[in-house]
Amino acid sequence: MPGILSSLWAIGTAYKPNATRDRQAKPLRFGAFAATYRPPGWAVKRPRTDAEAQRLYNHVRTVAYWLDAAPVLADLGLPFKAGLDDVISLVPIYGDIVAGVLQLYQVWLSFVFGVPRNILGLMILNVLIDVFVGIIPILGDFLDNLFKSNLRNLALLEDWLLTGKSATAKYHILLMPDGGDFLPPPKKQHKDKWSKGWFGSTNRGEEEEERDRERARGRPERTRRMRRDEGEEWGATPVAVPAEGMPGEPSRAGPSEPRGSQRAGQVPVQEGLD
């Protein structure tokens, strides 16, 4: 126990308050993703629209990263990523049990999403491995930090959303780019001066044309990962945000709403929720 307390004291003294203030001053958002701390539909209602599905995905991803790679702990400048799961698991046995219960919340959210049983079984297996490995003194905490069951389960959910027949037929949402960052720094679009033809027309691929159609409608044509240069594009898309008390509720904007405003089923660009 003295060793644990001394470790926590070292982490606390290395904390950077300025970094925290800078993080709070900027919204935790990347394109269609916004840090969402409150579960839509009280975590029991299956998404019926793309807007509800996007908000539930945002919540699942927020939970997974706070448990395995918390943004606040990233301000400490640690050489490794850590989350609330790692901090709670420092308490022998009981901490690992509590952390396991918190991890099952993410599995439950995936069940609400409609993830099939075989994938849910893999998620539960990841949780059990994390709990039993974490019980091992000292070495277990090290292996627990490397295993990161919550991020593994998030990857399983994202793979199902991208490739599962039931998911692709029902949901059309935007997932975060590949990588280990909670909010990757957006890349600026690079305009190639040689991309224009003889008469000034731009040679655009099918992917770029698809992005233009999506931005014009305010919703993606299919579930896909955002590119790193889309972090600001979707943030500037004039789509309405559903009422905070009614997740996924269509906008009540009047006839003067701008073209591209949200209708039922569209993916909103959401504000971070408390």
Q: Which residue in the block uniquely carries the two structure tokens 């009614």? A: 246
pLDDT given at position 235 = 52
DSSP 273: B
pLDDT category at 26 given cuts 50, 70, 90 is low
CA 244 to each of CA 26, 30, 36, 237, 261: distance values in angstroms, whole numbers, following the listed order: 20, 19, 11, 19, 17
pLDDT given at position 234 = 59
Query: Above 90 in pLDDT, residue 55?
Result: yes
Q: pLDDT, tens digit, for every residue of 226-253? A: 988 887 765 543 333 343 433 444 443 4
DSSP characters over 32-87: TEE-B-S-GGGGTSPP-SHHHHHHHHHHHHHHHHHHHS-HHHHTTT-SS---HHHH
pLDDT given at position 138 = 86
**Lowest pLDDT segment from 130-134, 210-214, 216-220, 256-260:** 256-260
Pick the more confident residue, 17 or 130: 130
Name the β-bridge partners of 87: none
Terminal Cα-to-Cα distance of the chain (whole angstroms): 34
Query: Above 80 in pLDDT, residue 114?
Result: yes
pLDDT given at position 119 = 98
Pick the more confident residue, 100 or 255: 100
pLDDT category at 188 given cuts 50, 70, 90 is low
Pick the more confident residue, 202 or 180: 180
Q: pLDDT, tens digit, for every residue of 166-181? A: 999 999 999 999 888 8
Tell me how many degrees the CA angle 160-36-274 measures, rounded to the nearest 5: 165
Give the residue extent of every domain in the chain: 46-175
